Every structure is written in C-alpha cells, then in structure tokens.
Amino acid sequence: MSDSPAPRLLNLLVLDVTDEARDDPAFERELDDLSTSVVAAAEQVGFAVRRVPANRLGDVRTALAEADAVLVTGGEDVDPSHYGGPADYPGRGQTFADADRVQFEVVRGSVEARVPLVGICRGMQVVDVALGGDLVQHLEHPGHLNPDDVSDSMVDHPVRLADGSTLASMLGTTSLVVRSSHHQAVGRLGEGLRAVAWADDGTVEAVEHDTAPVWCVQWHPEDRGATGTVLTDLLVAARDAALARTTGDRSRRTAD
C-alpha cells in the first residue's frame, strides 16, 4: 500500500452577487437554483467548492487566496456607473455597485495571476467591464429573455461559435441551442478579450481571453432545462488549467 498522500482537491470559488435581501424574491430563488446547480456540477468534476457572495469582502478575499479557479455567476445588472453608461435605461432594476467592485477585483486578480476564470451570463458582463469594456444596456431584439414568467425567464435560441476558438474546441461544436435570460450584453470588449460566439441577431454570446485561461458564456448552461455538456466542459477546462498551473508552480519551486 502506498504511503503517498492523496492529492488535494482543487478549490473553486463560486462568486455570487449578494446574499442581501433582493427586491424580487422570485428572481432570487431562480439565481439560487442556478448557483446550486453550478456547485453540484463542480463537485462532480472534482472541485472543492466555496460559494461566496461578493458583498462579503473579507470572505471573498480569503476564498480567493485559496482558489485554484473562479466562476462568476449571474444576477442583476452591473451598475452603469462602472462603465460610464446612462443611469436610466429600459429594464433597469436593482443593482449592487459595491458588490460589483469586489467582483471586478476578483476578475482582475485572476487574470493577472492566470487563475482559471469562468463567467456565466452576468458573470461574462462583469469580466468585460472589469477589463475596461462596456455593455449594451438593453437589447431591442427579442429572444434573449422571457419577461412574462417570473418562475422561469429562460428562452432557447441558437448560437454560432467561431471556428478555431478555444471555446469551440472545448465544446466540440460551432453550433448550439442555448438557454438564456438576459436583457443586456457585452458591448465594447475589455482588454485581452475576443468575442467567439454570437446569436442570430449579432449579440455577443461568449468571450475568451487572448492569454489568460478565461472563458465566458452569456447563456445559462447550468439551467435545469439546458441540454448538452457545456457546464461540465467549462468546469473540466477550468479544472485542467488549474491543475496545470498548480503543477507548473510546484515544478518551478522544485527547480529553484
């Protein structure tokens, strides 16, 4: 029997917006269900998960220091003050400007340290704004959100992925039908980001980073009605990149 220690589980920080009371309890329940699905999927691929709301700054910084990978979840609009957008626009609801700042700190720190980072829906928008991009504040085209069902705001629609993109290679396809629930989208791309998927109306549906292990999707692969293996594929990519980073760090320390 080997006496070598069992390999430690890699740590995933799942970063929600807030655990404060929201104006819309039904939306809060929907978000909680989505994050719970992320946690379950992450544990299945071998992560030890710590789920933390961004309004708890001390807990976020502690979890980030221990994190091998980060996933930023969905939620309310990013406060427009962060990207110079008008304060008044169609569809604006509750925002959490201070929590946004914490998420930006996590994104920038992850990119700088090359910690694998996944963004889902609002998480993709957070990544974009954190890196200097801005947002389309309200989509005029229908088909990204069902505003009439408070218990399930998702809609299905096709997306096309850029041939040759890391994301297309990761997912094994350049065409998907996805589940979305959003009225905003990425506008100007943040530094280092490139668009790699689009809806039929031209809305950016996924981005990746030129040099850092960052993959973001505008849709919700964690929704109970989603098909395919996109969530697992993203988590496996983050896990493998985290393992490679950890192994590389260990090798460099040994060489030193």
Q: Would you please indicate which residues are annotated as catalytic (active-site) residues?
A: 121, 220, 222
Helix (H) or strand (E) holding 207: strand 204-209
Please give the structure tokens belonging to residue 231.
């969530």
Q: How far is the C-alpha of 43 from the C-alpha of 47, rounded, in Å?
A: 5
Please give the structure tokens belonging to residue 21.
């009371």
User: Torsion angle, CA of 243/218/166/233, rounded to 10 degrees?
Assistant: 50
The 8 Å CB, 24+ separation contacts for 126-129 are 126/72, 126/78, 126/100, 127/72, 127/190, 127/193, 127/207, 127/214, 127/216, 128/186, 128/187, 128/189, 128/190, 128/193, 128/207, 128/216, 129/78, 129/82, 129/83, 129/100, 129/104, 129/190
Q: How far is the C-alpha of 23 from the C-alpha of 39, rounded, in Å?
A: 25
CB 53 within 8 A of CB 18: yes
- The gap between the terminal CA atoms of the chain, to the nearest Å, is 32
Q: How far is the C-alpha of 196 from the C-alpha of 216, rounded, in Å?
A: 10
Per the DSSP assignment, residues forming a β-bridge with 228 are none
Q: How far is the C-alpha of 55 from the C-alpha of 71, rounded, in Å?
A: 16
